[in-house]
């Protein structure tokens, strides 16, 4: 007998090998009586998460594995897992057993009876965030929630939740408007919707992790800030370019500081400025490699090659910068405008050329 697929559970996972089998067992217990499947979206984890999924999938057709190569990212993993589904509803849940899968039937019922979106919340009556690993995480979480509420204009108590359920049709309508960047797919979804979504919040207790480790770090927070800026600018300026420019601005700081140190150490201006510029370029390469191009980070020998290319690209960029500023200054005599125009052209050049030459996608 053919059965209509009601629910696809999308599980983003990175290095969650030990959690795969318990996750399938937990879903099996929580979703009995329902036609469901689970898609583990794995970014080619070195611990062999994908093999662990496939071992189960071979004998259980409700289990699927989507293995992505050469890419990282929680949000984009969730998007691609969802787009592989044909079910009526989609649930998204972490693969580390920190979310409470026994709440899924309740979340499904909420959406079936009219809510656009059901969100597992640690912060409504009956919810609990005790699984947050440290007081620092609790504070971070609170600040993030405050900002997210401001930007989205919603009252939702846990906008950073990675645990939610919605009709697949709604997700597909919003899919093209998602940025797919970073960690906060729920926030991305809410902000992508032109109409206000009706959201049902279902309390759950955030459990502690027992196996594996959290992937949230400071860089993820920077990416989160990027997502918000992107929303405010409505995607007119690419997020990558903003990150690149912020890194560049930081480079100016490095340049000036190193310049002053070198001067204090007795170097002449020209030498000190050269040292400062090279130091800034190296710092910028590092930051861009860690942050702006996190997803295609260069490692080992390729990082050295990338650094040298980056130095060449940026040197040409500064030649263009100075040349254009000089020509404009000669024509109109306004130094601030000429300097700024030169700098803008330098940044755009550096961005465009290094994006294709230094960090070109695979
Ligand atoms: N495919 C893929 N790619 N999965 C990833 C990636 C990635 O780059 N990074 C993390 N994941 C998976 C993890 O394996 C885990 O299943 C889930 O995404 C959440 O990652 P954790 O590293 O466990 O996140 P957390 O516990 O710190 O964050 C939790 O709290 C946040 C709110 O504070 C999660 O519930 C988040 O979803 C939530 O936004
Ligand atoms: Mn976790």
Q: Where are the beta strands (DSSP E) in 94-186?
A: 117-121, 164-167
Around ligand 1, the residues with Cβ closer than 6 Å are 12-14, 16, 41-43, 72-74, 77, 94-96, 98, 141, 160, 162, 183, 214-216
Under 8 Å between Cβ of 317 and 349 = yes
Residue 12: the pLDDT is: 97
User: Ligand 1 centroid to 228 CA: how many Å?
Assistant: 19
Please write the tens of the pLDDT for every residue from 1-57. 889 999 999 999 999 999 999 999 999 999 999 999 999 999 999 999 999 999 999
Residue 362: the pLDDT is: 45
Residue 8: the pLDDT is: 98
Instruction: State the ligand closest to the CA atom of 98.
Output: 2
**Model pTM score:** 0.69
Residue 1: the pLDDT is: 80
User: Ligand 1 centroid to 136 CA: how many Å?
Assistant: 17
Instruction: State the ligand closest to the CA atom of 221.
Output: 1
User: Ligand 1 centroid to 114 CA: how many Å?
Assistant: 28
Residue whose Cα lies nearest atom 4 of ligand 1: it is: 13
Residue 150: the pLDDT is: 75
Which residues of the chain, if any, have pLDDT below 70? 124-131, 133, 182, 216-223, 227, 234-236, 361-362
User: Ligand 2 centroid to 11 CA: how many Å?
Assistant: 12
- Specify the ligand 1 atom closest to the Cα of 158: 32
Under 8 Å between Cβ of 92 and 78 = yes
Residue 129: the pLDDT is: 66
Residue 216: the pLDDT is: 67
Which of 162, 211, 217 for a ligand 1 pocket mutation test, highest count of atoms within 8 Å of Cβ? Answer: 162
User: Ligand 1 centroid to 140 CA: how many Å?
Assistant: 15
Exposure string (b/e) for 270-307, b if CB count within 10 Å is 16 or more? eebbebbbebbbebbbebbbebbbbeebbeeeeeeebb
Residue 296: the pLDDT is: 83
User: Ligand 1 centroid to 185 CA: how many Å?
Assistant: 11
Please write the tens of the pLDDT for every residue from 116-129. 999 999 876 666 66
Residue 148: the pLDDT is: 72
Under 8 Å between Cβ of 160 and 141 = yes
**Alpha-carbon distances of 310 from 22, 283, 307, 351, rounded to whole Å:** 46, 11, 5, 10
The SS3 of residue 330 is: helix
Instruction: State the ligand closest to the CA atom of 180.
Output: 1
Classify 7-216 by CATH class.
Answer: alpha beta
Residue 289 DSSP class: I
């Amino acid at each position: 007998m053919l059965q209509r697929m009601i629910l696809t559970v999308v599980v983003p996972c990175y290095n969650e090998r030990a959690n795969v089998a318990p996750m399938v067992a937990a879903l099996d217990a929580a979703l009995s009586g329902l036609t469901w499947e689970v898609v583990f979206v794995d970014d080619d984890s070195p611990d062999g998460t994908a093999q662990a999924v496939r071992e189960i999938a071979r004998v259980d057709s409700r289990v699927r594995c989507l293995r992505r190569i050469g890419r990282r990212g929680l949000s984009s993993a969730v998007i691609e897992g969802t787009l592989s589904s044909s079910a009526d509803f989609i649930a998204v849940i972490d693969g580390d057993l920190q979310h409470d899968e026994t709440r899924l039937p309740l979340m499904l019922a909420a959406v079936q009876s009219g809510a656009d979106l059901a969100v597992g919340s640690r912060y409504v009556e009956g919810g609990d965030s005790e699984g947050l690993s440290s007081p620092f995480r609790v504070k971070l979480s609170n600040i993030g929630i405050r900002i997210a509420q401001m930007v989205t204009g919603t009252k939702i108590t846990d906008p950073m939740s990675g645990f939610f359920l919605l009709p697949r049709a709604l997700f597909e309508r919003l899919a093209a408007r998602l940025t797919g960047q970073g960690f906060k797919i729920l926030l991305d979804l809410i902000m992508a919707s032109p109409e206000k979504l009706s959201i049902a919040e279902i309390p759950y207790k955030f459990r502690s992790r027992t196996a594996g480790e959290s992937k949230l770090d400071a860089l993820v927070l920077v990416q989160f800030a990027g997502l918000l800026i992107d929303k405010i600018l409505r995607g007119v300026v690419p997020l990558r370019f903003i990150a690149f420019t912020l890194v560049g601005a930081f480079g100016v700081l490095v340049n000036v500081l190193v310049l002053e140190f070198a001067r204090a150490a007795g170097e002449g201006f020209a030498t000190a400025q050269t040292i400062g510029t090279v130091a800034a370029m190296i710092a910028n390469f590092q930051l861009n490699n860690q942050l702006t191009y996190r997803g295609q980070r260069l490692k080992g020998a390729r990082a050295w090659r990338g650094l040298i290319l980056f130095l060449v690209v940026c040197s040409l960029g500064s030649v263009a910068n100075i040349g254009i500023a000089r020509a404009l200054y000669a024509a109109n005599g306004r130094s601030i405008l000429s300097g700024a125009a030169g700098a803008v052209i330098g940044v755009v050049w550096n961005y465009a050329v290094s994006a294709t030459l230094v960090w070109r996608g695979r």
